[in-house]
Structure formats: structure tokens, C-alpha cells
Chain A
Amino acid sequence: MLYSSYEADQALMNTGPKKVILTLFLLFLAFIPLQMVEGIPDLIPGFDFLGNNDWLKLLSTACIFAIGALGLNVLTGLAGQVSLGHAFFMGLGAYTAAWLGAAPGPLAGIGLPMWIWLPAAGVVAAIVGVAVGPTAVRVRGLYLAFVTLGLVFVGEYIFRNWSTLTGGSQSGRTFPDFELRLWKEETPLVDFANDGTWFGVALSGEAKTYYLLVFLLVVFVLLAKNLQRTRAGRAFQSIRDRDIAAEIMGVNEFKYKLTAFGISSFYAGVAGALLASFVGRTIPERWDLFLSVQFIAIVLIGGAGVVTGTLLGSVFVITLPRIVQDFTGWLTEYVTEGNGVFVWLADLLVVTGEGDFGLINVQQGIGSGLSVSILNQVLYGLLIIGFLIFEPLGLYGIWLRIRNYWKGWPFTY
């Protein structure tokens, strides 16, 4: 035996290198915003751009999506049930948070503190998940996808019409800020939304929000990892791999599918509340099918059933639009300057003016081509299909291959 005790083996970080890498990574995450602080040098050469407020916002969004995706990963990755209903449960969480957390005003809100509205967002979504679950978990495979698809449409309809809570499609509504209060006192204990000073370091609101979300993500990652390696997590996976055998081995299939549905909805509810609070004013159409598809993309692109993969997938899916946008911007500039060897190729890709042919169109309304947002949707679709066919383990599978390649180096074969 390689391990001195099962406890050491069972620990999340069961090897020395893993511990070192994880610690370094967490330090890296912690240092990202600090580079923007006056008097602190760029600590991570090459990555200092991540400290800009707009990149911090992207990373924060990725954290929120990762929390939601960890939930879908329990349902789809572990229990093997495909759900398109994630956006609906996120919406439920968001409006629960709004109702409980927002200050009283024209729209419903009773102004309770974050430590109530955030967990409540998850709990309400989970309760609804467990309530509609029996219908959903009785059907399998594609049928489940259809049933949960229905949830998204029904949900959007309800959200749109319940305008005293949601503000309706015209104006939407605002959501409670990230602020820690004991109860309803005037000044919050900790204010994550606005610029301020923590431990003598002047931080932007974006940086503080980023820290809050990284912290929450770490908590949810730990919960998800623990779930996966304990009794219930194994029960989910056994149902996914062989449902009838799992039942014969003593797993109550119905109960565990329902549990997976509930847990997934809980994570979705929390993520929905965080997203709405983070974005600010949000309309009911925010909780649409495309949002659900983004989560499916995260889980499948990252690697179904693998927590690390879910994290990779979230960063990938959230930063992809930004990368595409920066890239097309750069291409357009390149074509306009018109003196590179590959201008003809770049010109085929982007639309630079009226009548010009191109795949991507950054100047909306002029000429042909896909807008950047449509292009993103197409890319998500292609990536989902591509990963399903060529790399079912997703980005995590690619990472495994790279690792195994270097493990054997220089004796590669």
C-alpha cells in the first residue's frame, strides 16, 4: 500500500504535488486584483491584465456560472440525467433573493440580509425542484430533456407576468447588493459592492465582489467534491452507469434521482441569486433556454462528472465571447491596416464594410455575417457536439492526456 492510512488517501489532496499546485493556484487567484493596487508590483507577469475591472467581472461571472454548473454536474455528470431546466431554477433563486433581500419599494421586497436571501434562494429552488421532480425523474434520456425544456418556457411565462415581483419585460428589476448585514442596520458589516479599504489595501468594488465569489466558489467546490466521493455521490454514479444493477444493489433509484434534482436546483438557485445581484437590473427573459444551454456546454465541455472539468468549462464558456470579441476586433484592425500576408484570410473572416463578405460581423447592421453573440452561440453548439463525439471527458480529458504525456516524458510513445 502506498498510503499510510485510508484517511490520508481519502483526503481531497492526496498527493504532495496536488497540494502545492492547489495552494499556488489559490494564491494566484488571490493576487489577481492586487496588481491593480497602487504600490503593489505586477506579481504575475503576463497575467496582469486579469486584474483590470472588466476581466475581474468576467472572472466573477465565471465563478457564479461555476457554482451553477457544479449543481448541473451533480445531476448530469453524476446521476446522468440531462436537464435543460437549469435557467428556470436560477430564475427562481434570483426572484427569491429579490423578494427577501431587496429594499421595500414599488416591487416586492422585504429587505432581509444576505445570509438569509442567499441560502433561501437555493432552498426555494430546491423545494420546487423536488416538487416537480417526480414527473421529471420518471422519464428518461431525451424525454427528460423535453420535460425540463418545458420548465424553462413555463418559468419565463410566469416571470414575465408576475410583474409585481419581477418588474416585467419592460424594465425588469434590481436585486439586493452583496452586503453582509446582521439584520437591517444602516451600514453593512462588509460591503462587497463599492470601493473601499480592506486591511489597509484600497480595493475596487469589483475586486471585493471577486473575492466574495471566489470564496463562495471554493465552499461549493468542497461540498461538491465531498458529495461525489461519499455514499450519495456513488449512488448517483451507479444509477448513471447501470440503473437496474444499481437498484438491485440497494440504491433507491427514484429517491436518488430526486435528490440529485433537488441538489442541482439548490446550486442553480444560489447561482441565479448571485448572478442577478451581480448584474444588477435584470429582465425575466434573462432566464431563458440559452442560459440552460450554456450550463450544458460548461458541463460537457469541461468533462461530465468531474469537478475540475466544471471549473475549466466555466472559465472557458464565460471568457470565450470576450476572446472572440477581442480577436475579431484585432482582425478588423489588421484588415483595415491592410498590409499583412494573411489579410486575405482575415478579410474572409470579418465584415469590414457594406457589401464585404465575411463570417463575423462586428459592425452590426452592415453587410452579411454573424454577429459576435450569434457566433458565440454557434461556437457553443459546435463545441458541445465536438466534445460529445471526440472527447467525452471534455477539457478535463485533454488535461489528463497532456499530464500523462508529460508524466512519461522523455519516454513518450
Chain B
Amino acid sequence: MSGKLLQRRVDRSGPADYDHLMEVRDIHLSFKGVKAIDGVSFHVDDGELFAIIGPNGAGKTSLFNSINQVYHPQQGDILWKGESLMGLKPNHTAERGIARTFQNIALYPHMTVLENILTGRHVRMKSGWLAGSVWLGKAKREEMANREIVEGIIDFLEIEQWRKYPVGLLPYGVQKRVEMGRALAMDPEILMLDEPVAGMNLEETEDMARFILDVQDELGIAIILVEHDMGLVMDIADRVLVVDFGKQIAIGEPAEVQQNPNVIKAYLGEEVEIGQQ
């Protein structure tokens, strides 16, 4: 993934009368007694690359699902530009500019690469079913314009040769890229990546890291990066949150966090052991 990056299409130069782009305030989420999230607070600012790390089962994906309002935390609040997201539907979070990729790829397997990425444009398009059925005037122009945007994303991700294939038939690495393309097609203000380098080799991981930095730098999109592996995160994140068993262990700049004794005990200790084997 290289080449000239996409352009920002949405002008967001309006007044910023909020403290933080996103703010999570002391949320608690449990499933039938199992505490998935147990008092986590953090904020993300415009254009920031914020990382969340923690071992498997720490509650990272549940945090994303809470932000998307797929899960509804029993306590706490989640603010988007100063306004609460609590009680909204998942599609409302997308409309506000929150995009996401999934730990286990969640593309639409029977749709082509092109169609999958076009679904990312859903929130930026307007035509309804009737205008679409008749395929006249505005609806047609809108389809064409958005098709062009999507072709740009496809070129950028270097997946041209696959564009007419149903994604379900494509290799894992290509699917990961398509999912990234679908999220970027939303023109989001924040991009939430759930373990984007899981299952990737060193070279692919480096590619992905560069890509994430490009998205942050050139598009100015804020990123929340969830990883269970520390390596990547410590290199590229502006700030890091460490969670374990749903609890917040540490938050701060990578260097600080790495020194934190709780982190070393709960997290790095395990890493070191694995490394030594």
C-alpha cells in the first residue's frame, strides 16, 4: 500500500467548541455478571493516534462495541464532540463520522470489492430506493461521483485486479485492505482499528504501520488502534491506554506507560516470558 494518498473530501473547518473529539467517561459493562469493562476513561483529540492495548479478553473489542452502541454500558458516558452517544443506534455513530474495522473481518462476503467499499459511502450518499430504481438524474450522478471516489480508494489500496470479485473468495490480506477501504470510504473523523495487523508477517505489519501513519498525517483522521501486541503500538501511537480484565491499568505516552510497574507486571511480564521461550 503506497502511492499518493486520498484527499479529504469533507471540510470540517467549523468551530470546534468541544473539549475532545471523543471522550469515554468511566464506563462499566457487564454480561450476566461477567465484567467486560470495569471503569475505563480516556479521550481522543482531533488527529491523534490513540492506542488501546491489553491481553485477549481484556475488553478492547467491547470498548469499540460500546462506542458504536452495539453494546450499552450500564454506567458511564461516551461523548462525541461533547454530545453523548449513549442510547443511539450503531448507524447513528457512523453518521457522526465514526468508522471501524473488525478483529474478525466483517465484510459482506457475497458482494464484490467495489460494492463493499461503496457501502462505506452509504452515510455520505442520499438517494433512496425509488430514485435508485428509476436511475435518473440525481441518483445516477450521485452513484457515478461516488463510484469515482471508490475507484480512487481501490487504486490507492492496490486492489484493482480484485474489484469485481466477491470478497468472500479473496485472500485474507486482500480482505483486510478492502475492509480498510470500506472504512475510509466513509470519510470518517475517527477510524477505529481492531487488531489490524493480527495474522500478518513482519513486512505486512510494517506496511500497515506506514499506512496507518499516512491516514493520520495526510487525512488528519484521528485513530484508535487496538492491539494485543505492544511492538507496533509503542512505535507509532501518540498515547496509549493499557487495559487488563476490563480495568484501566495505565494511560499516557508510550515511554511513560512502558515504565509503569503495573503494566510490566500485568502485561510485559507475559511478553518477556513468551519472548524468552
Name A's B-contacting residues (CB within 8 A): 1, 6-7, 10, 222-224, 226-227, 229-235, 237-238, 240-242, 244-253, 259, 263, 305
Contact = CB atoms under 8 A, between A and B. Distances in A.
A242 B151 contact: no
A247 B90 contact: yes
Interface of B: 68, 70, 89-91, 93-95, 99-100, 102, 106-111, 115, 118-123, 125, 127-129, 131-135, 139, 142-144, 147-148, 151, 160, 182, 186
A234 B129 contact: no
Contact of B143 (A223, A230, A235, A241): A230
Contacts of A249: 91, 94, 99, 119-120, 122-123, 182, 186
5 contacts: A10-B144, A223-B134, A237-B110, A242-B109, A247-B89
A121 B161 CA distance: 46
B106 A234 contact: no
Nearest to A263: B129
Contacts of A230: 127, 131-133, 135, 139, 143
Contacts of B122: 231, 234-235, 238, 249-251
Given A224-B133, A227-B133, 7 more contacts: A227-B129, A229-B143, A235-B119, A242-B109, A245-B107, A252-B89, A253-B91
Contacts of B151: 6
A131 B91 CA distance: 23
A161 B76 CA distance: 56
Nearest to B98: A248
Closest 10 CB pairs between A and B?
A230-B132, A250-B94, A241-B108, A232-B129, A250-B123, A245-B106, A247-B90, A226-B135, A223-B133, A227-B133
Contacts of A237: 108, 110-111, 115
Contacts of A246: 108, 119
A6 B147 contact: yes
Q: Name which of A224, A247, A251 has the most chain B CB atoms within 10 A of its CB.
A: A247
Contacts of B143: 10, 229-231
Given A237-B110, A238-B111, A241-B108, A247 B147 contact: no
A242 B109 CA distance: 9
Contacts of B100: 248
B132 A227 contact: yes
A310 to B, nearest CB: 15
A241 B109 contact: yes
A248 B68 CA distance: 7
B129 A241 contact: no
A237 B89 CA distance: 19
Q: Name which of B129, B142, B143 has the most chain A CB atoms within 10 A of its CB.
A: B129
Contacts of B160: 1
B104 to A, nearest CB: 10
Q: Name which of A10, A222, A240, A248 has the most chain B CB atoms within 10 A of its CB.
A: A248
Contact of B91 (A223, A240, A252): A252
Q: Name which of B100, B135, B147, B151 has the most chain A CB atoms within 10 A of its CB.
A: B135
Nearest to B166: A241
A234 B93 contact: no
Contacts of B99: 249
A245 B134 contact: no
Contacts of B142: 231
Contacts of B94: 247-250
A7 B128 CA distance: 20
A244 B61 CA distance: 14
B132 A250 contact: no
Nearest to A239: B108
A372 B21 CA distance: 69
B134 A226 contact: yes
A159 B139 CA distance: 40
A234 B182 CA distance: 13
Contacts of A223: 133-134
Contacts of A247: 70, 89-91, 94
A259 B129 contact: yes
Contacts of B135: 222, 226, 230
A244 B134 CA distance: 29
